Structure 1
Amino acid sequence: MTMQRDVHDELRARLHEAAGAHEPNRERILARIERGMAGQERTDHRATRPPLWGWARIVGATAAVAGMLAVGGYAVASAVKDDPPQQTVAVSPTPVKSPDATSRPPASPKATPSSGGGPQDPVEPSNPPSRTAESTPSAPPAAALLPATDDTEDGPLWSDGSVDPHSNDFWAQSNITLKTSEQLTALTVQLRVAQTGGVSSTGAWRSLPEDDFTLTVAEQDGFLVYTWMLKEGRTVPKGEWVFAGQYDHDRGGRDAKDDTYAIAATTDGQERAVGGDFASRDDDEGDS
């Protein structure tokens, strides 16, 4: 009984130690028990034992092992219960970015083995496929400049150019007035504002229906050019009409002496043209 108690105490100590390490190993425990029992048998027992006592020893040892395993399992469960479970966080490996067609460096020349064992000729790298250029919306093409003329009257047409009196030190509006005594089947009106510094469009309007005209605004040859073109199939009735271009400019009273306008029209199958310039600032001040 003392031998079994000693073995039991040793087993409990080892099981508690194994439970603390969280690595219980049933096979190692059984192997240690068998080795301990074999050593005790050689030292304490006599060479000859009655067969009945041998079977009793085997049955007792088996019972002791079963009891110790039960106690060991309880110790393991107690040890595991006493120690709080440690949580571990699984961290995924950092993804490796695979190079794509845009980041892959150009292929380096590769050598191919020659049949004669001599110097190897480098293979020229193949050209990478070219990307298709993305289409970007383009601004409407600038209208062709109309021929300049100083004739303000031609047949049924009459015209005049003036700077709107509401213009100020930072902003201005140039007005083109057109009078026609006949219906027009084609009409193009063009305003050319000289780039005197900071000139940029802020808008445009006309007294005729907006849907009847196509408007383009563009920088051309040092001028900000406004072009109104009557759409095909539309007409301009008899009357007096205004076409106006608005723009910012550098601070100060702007001089419009280099600004011009031109008008091309068709009436009764005949082409007509009028045009002119704008009164300079000095002329306006003199008139006042």
Structure 2
Amino acid sequence: MSEEHLRQQLREAADAHRPDRARMLARVERGMHEQPATDEPERRPAVGWVRIAGITAGVVGALAVGGFAVGSALRPDDPAPRQQQVAVSPTQTPRGGNPLWADGSVDPGSNDYWAQSNVTFKTKSQLTGLTVELRVAQTGKVNSTGHWRSLPASDFTESVTERDGFLVYRWVLRAGRSVPVGEHVFAGQYNHAEGGRDAGADDYVVTGRTRDGQQVSVDGDFA
């Protein structure tokens, strides 16, 4: 038999063959049921686990970043949060206010022939200018016998004059001198007509200048 003839017969046999589809499916099904129990279970793609692992890692990463942020915010060596700053000035006598207080009184050592009138004042600010004027009404035979002040005499120019029916004592602070914070006394001494003298018409005025240039004054009487 020639080779060509053999090939022809094989082709004819192949063309005549019709596979039994139902039989083939039955064999496959039977083989699946007969698979040994020791075989490994069918492996499924690990896509689900990969997805879960990715989500878990993302959550952990977020917590880690959040924890770092919180930890950093609570570190004691970090600068404090910026807050609105409110500017506050030191306590001072407000411009237009008066740091002076004063009182006029007749000294208890006065008698029926002689008297001393005291001007006592207090200042809450150092003064670079000061004028104190004491006016004693001419009630009869009033004439000066002296005067004094609790501050150094060399810091003041002093004068005693008669003007408009008053004996006027005047003290003026010299240039370049200052009056410290505190209480100070200026006094005028004088004779007067015999008997008790009425000081109701006497008065005084204290005028000063603070270091920042504020002009201040206070006045009163001896009633």
Distance 1:178 1:157 in 2: 7
Match of 1:186 in 2: 129
Match of 1:272 in 2: 216
Match of 2:56 in 1: none
Deviation beyond 2 Å, 4+ runs, structure 1: none
Question: SS in structure 1 opposite 2:215?
Answer: strand
Structure with greater proportional strand content = 2
Matched, 1:205 2:148: yes
Distance 2:98 2:131 in 1: 16
Superposed counterparts of 1:53-132, under 5 Å: none
Higher RCO, 1 vs 2 (CA within 8 Å, ≥6 residues apart): 2
Deviation track 1:96-137 (CA, whole Å, cap 9, x = no partner) reads xxxxxxxxxxxxxxxxxxxxxxxxxxxxxxxxxxxxxxxxxx
Deviation track 1:217-258 (CA, whole Å, cap 9, x = no partner) reads 000000000000000110000010000000000000000000
Shift of 1:155: 1.5
Matched, 1:196 2:147: no
Question: SS in structure 2 opposite 1:155?
Answer: coil
| Unmatched runs of 5 consecutive residues or more in structure 2 | 1-96
Question: SS in structure 1 opposite 2:127?
Answer: coil
Distance 1:156 1:190 in 2: 18
Kindly, what percent of the aligned residue pairs are identical?
67
Deviation track 1:251-270 (CA, whole Å, cap 9, x = no partner) reads 00000000000011001210
Question: SS in structure 2 opposite 1:185?
Answer: strand
Which one-letter code corresponds to 2:104 in the other structure?
G
| Unmatched runs of 5 consecutive residues or more in structure 1 | 1-153, 280-288
From the CA coordinates, give the structure whose radius of gyration is larger. 2
Which one-letter code corresponds to 2:174 in the other structure?
K
Distance 2:170 2:202 in 1: 14
Deviation track 1:54-109 (CA, whole Å, cap 9, x = no partner) reads xxxxxxxxxxxxxxxxxxxxxxxxxxxxxxxxxxxxxxxxxxxxxxxxxxxxxxxx
Deviation track 1:156-179 (CA, whole Å, cap 9, x = no partner) reads 110000000110000000000010
The alignment yields a C-alpha RMSD, in angstroms, of 0.7
Deviation track 1:28-51 (CA, whole Å, cap 9, x = no partner) reads xxxxxxxxxxxxxxxxxxxxxxxx
Match of 1:124 in 2: none
